[in-house]
Amino acid sequence: MINKLSSFITDRFVLNGTEQVDDIEVYQFALFIIISNIFFLAISLLTGLIFSCIIEMIIFFISFQLLRTFAGGYHAKSETVCEIATTSSIFLVGLIISLCEKFGLVQLFTIITAVIAAVVIIIFSPVEARQKPLSANERKKYRIVSILILAAITASIITAYCLKIRMIYIPCCLCLVLEAALITAGKIEEHFTVKE
């Protein structure tokens, strides 16, 4: 859906003669990234409205997008699967945040899983996409940036936990857990792809 929309818009610019045909793939990719970020931000906001946790979902979305961009992880084989899986993940995060708020569910468990997730991210990031392998320099750069982002998120979790600001530390913990799951899935996929 998003790919078709970005292609349609880009083709309109080419048909109108405003852009060079050589650059069409670059424009399509840039537009795809912009539209998908807007789409998933809208899904996050809608989920926040449904579960009465808009601020938490914004915090989750921003921290997850930053970390995911540089740490990488599993990528679905089709855009439709990606959209469904991402939407489901966002909805699940909203549900967990809501349950934590309503029932004060296992805050210690959330912190412990976030610590384990952080270790997984440190060990394995970045996990590159099959479609876009990284050079040695890019790999090094992405690793450094992902660890710096992880450090900032971890500092936010620790500070918010000490100050008892659940609306910050719970979505940040869930961000780390989801990213670690995607990195683990990406590593497993990478392992089996290499064996084939």
Contact of 159 with 173, CB cutoff 8 Å: no
φ/ψ of 148, rounded to 5, equals: -65, -45
Q: Where exactly are the structural domains of the chain?
A: 2-195
Q: Worst-scoring range by mean pLDDT, 29-38, 87-96, 187-196? A: 187-196
Q: Is the pLDDT of residue 20 over 60?
A: no
CA 32, CA 196: separation in Å to the nearest integer?
31
> What's the predicted TM-score (pTM) here?
0.86
- 41: confidence class by pLDDT, cuts 50, 70, 90: very high
pLDDT of residue 42: 96
pLDDT of residue 194: 56
Helix (H, G, I), strand (E, B) or coil at 129: strand
Nearby residues of 144 by Cβ (< 8 Å), 6 or more positions away: none
The residue written with tokens 């990478």 in the block is 190
Per-residue pLDDT of 138-161, as tens digits, reads 999 999 999 999 999 999 999 998
